Amino acid sequence: MKVIIIFFPLVTAFFITLILGPVTIPFLKRLKFGQHIREQGPKRHLTKAGTPTMGGIIIILSLILTSFFFGKYNKDLILILGITLGFGLIGFIDDFLKIALKRALGLRANQKIICQLILATLLVYYGTLYLEKDISLKIPFSGFLVNLGVYFIPFSVFVIIGTVNSVNLTDGLDGLLAGITVIISSAYTFIGVINQNYNLVIFSSALTGAAVGFLVFNRYPAQVFMGDTGSLAIGGALASMAVLTKTQLYLPVFGFIFVLETLSVILQVISYRFFGKRIFKMSPLHHHFELMGWSEPAVVFLFWCITLISVTIGLISYFYI
């Protein structure tokens, strides 16, 4: 039964993505939803200008179809899908404004954060009901539990918004985020199986299958980019799974590469603003490696390996410490 509940959603999502890709990519091309490449970025990326973006629609549709087919409209599954779709919708609007309407900045920063706050608060509020008031979180590498009490909701909201935006920052190289998603969502599938949370298993295995399928079109050289539509949706999906498994404190471990990418941006800004010097050749971190002469596939493979190691360490800590 466990094998079936993992295998069938994964394979179904994979093949749905494979079917949707050849239909969606030409459609995005006809709409001229091509990626705009910043001139300040690595020069080799200029050749990617015009590559269809907003391909995250493929992942979202695959998730919806697979989850509803196997999950039988379970309320927990609907919540995760709703949050994922909500964050994906924010990304879609942002992409649409930037690409279709040629508004350079897309949604304003305050508009994004308000929408994200609403979704994150809804997720955490439901999470407290789902957890039946047990809001203790396990501290990684310690075995200790911490009850945050009244701070549980603001802390979790902070983690969710931080995760979503860190994931968004990481989506900068062909196949990078899709591959990382495969690894982390596989970890949540394992957690779901061990904890007998089969709604989580259905969703996480479907996300794994959709991400693997998307890699067929998104690997170097990419035929399509997921855009903010996909990256924000994936961030919402990972955050949702963390809240419903009480692993908010493990997200920085599982997504260690997200932490590195975000820190590189923060440190770069602080260093340049206060000292007039750059720590990295360019941020986020993946661009730094590119400007050091690494090929794009080499950087992607390195970051996948780092994620595999951090996820393995996180799972060992979760189950055995």
Tell which residue, 183, 205, 212, has the closest CA to residue 9: 205
Query: Quick check: is 277 in a domain?
Result: no
Element (H, E) at 136: strand 136-138
DSSP code, position 34: B
CA atoms within 13 A on the CB side of 166: 24
Distance, in Å, from the CA atom of 175 to the CA atom of 208, rounded to the nearest integer, reads 14
pLDDT at 105: 67
Query: Quick check: is 317 in a domain?
Result: no
Query: Quick check: is 297 in a domain?
Result: no
* Cα 214 off chain centre by: 13
Looking at the structure of the chain, the number of domains it has is 1
Contacts with 313 (C-beta within 8 Å, 6 or more apart), sequence order: 253
The three-point CA angle 265-117-253 to 5° equals: 50
Mean pLDDT of 292-314: 97
Query: Quick check: is 271 in a domain?
Result: no
Query: Quick check: is 309 in a domain?
Result: no
Query: Quick check: is 73 in a domain?
Result: yes
- The SS3 call for residue 63 is helix
199 residue type, one letter? N
| Annotated binding residue 228 | yes
| Annotated binding residue 134 | no
Of the ranges 60-74, 115-129, 251-265, the best mean pLDDT one:
251-265
Per-residue pLDDT band at 2 (split at 50, 70, 90) = low
Contacts with 142 (C-beta within 8 Å, 6 or more apart), sequence order: 321
Query: Quick check: is 318 in a domain?
Result: no
Tell me the C-alpha to C-alpha distance, in Å, between residue 259 and each of 79, 142, 178, 266, 307.
26, 20, 17, 10, 11
Q: What are the tens digits of pLDDT across the range 47-67?
A: 777 789 899 999 999 999 998
Residue that is written with structure tokens 């298993």 in the block: 201
Query: Quick check: is 256 in a domain?
Result: no
Distance, in Å, from the CA atom of 180 to the CA atom of 177, rounded to the nearest integer, reads 5
Domain that holds residue 175: 2-248
Q: What are the tens digits of pLDDT across the range 174-218?
A: 999 999 999 999 999 999 999 888 888 999 999 999 999 999 999
